[in-house]
Amino acid sequence: MFRTLKEDIMFHIEQKLEEKDDVNVDNPFDLLPTYLKLKIKHHLCLPLLEKVPSQCLIKKLVYPCLEHVYYSKDNYIVRKGEPLDRMLLITEGVVWKLASNSEGTASSSEGTASSSWVCLEKGQFCGEELLEWEFKDSKVLISPMTLKTHTKVEGFVLMAKDLKDLLKGSSTFLESLYKS
């Protein structure tokens, strides 16, 4: 008998709840087997990755490397001028983004009236510069923006280290996918 994705998830969560007394019910994703985590990442993240503007086709290959994350309300994810070590795909919640001047929006470290915050919500992403950077340079990528949660945020992140490891493992093949 074949179960739907939802039925398969519920089956495994119920099974884990019966087996263990101490279970983190706030993050049921951690209770699931690897094959099911991959199915969920494919279902939730591949459509978001398709939206990422990039000449690089690696974006379709990274979803197994994505990590499920939670950020609490009013939490800085990254600040302008710090290393940009992640790309975030938002599945729930609201992230505020203070854009850099290069994005056509005024920004200011003092937070003056000329600063412009952009609201990113479910189904949106940020940090996509990571995909292009990894092919061009070995220097640390510096964030052109500040990202701060406005609400609790759930999503998936691609960490720079994971992308680098993926590229090392199959650099010849992946370079052939890159279109400059």
Measured CA distances, 101 to 98, 104, 124 (Å): 10, 5, 21
- Considering only the C-alpha atoms of the chain, give the largest distance between any 2 of them, rounded to a whole number of Å: 60
Is residue 39 assigned to a domain? no
- Tell me how far apart the alpha carbons of residues 87 and 52 are, in angstroms, rounded to a whole number: 10
- pLDDT of 69-114, one tens digit each? 999 999 999 999 999 999 999 999 999 999 755 443 433 444 444 5
Residue whose C-alpha is closest to residue 30's, from 13, 51, 50, 45: 13
Which CATH number do you get for residue 145? Answer: 2.60.120.10
Residue 66: which domain range? 54-177
Which bin fits 93, alpha (ψ -120 to 50), beta or left (φ > 0)?
left
Strands lying side by side in the sheet with 117-120? 76-78, 146-149, 95-98, 117-120
pLDDT at 171 over 60: no
Is residue 14 assigned to a domain? no
Is residue 139 assigned to a domain? yes
- Tell me how far apart the alpha carbons of residues 26 and 33 are, in angstroms, rounded to a whole number: 17
How confident is the model at residue 56, as a pLDDT? 66
Is residue 21 assigned to a domain? no
Measured CA distances, 120 to 53, 69, 127, 133 (Å): 16, 16, 12, 22
Phi (first) and psi of residue 76, to 5 degrees: -75, 130
End-to-end CA distance of the chain: 47
Is residue 47 assigned to a domain? no
pLDDT at 32 over 60: yes
Is residue 137 assigned to a domain? yes
Give the contacts of 169 (CB within 8 A, at least 6 positions apart): none
pLDDT at 160 over 80: yes
How confident is the model at residue 103, as a pLDDT? 46
Q: How many domains does the chain have?
A: 1
Phi (first) and psi of residue 168, to 5 degrees: -60, -40
Is residue 136 assigned to a domain? yes
Residue 4 structure tokens: 């739907």
Is residue 18 assigned to a domain? no
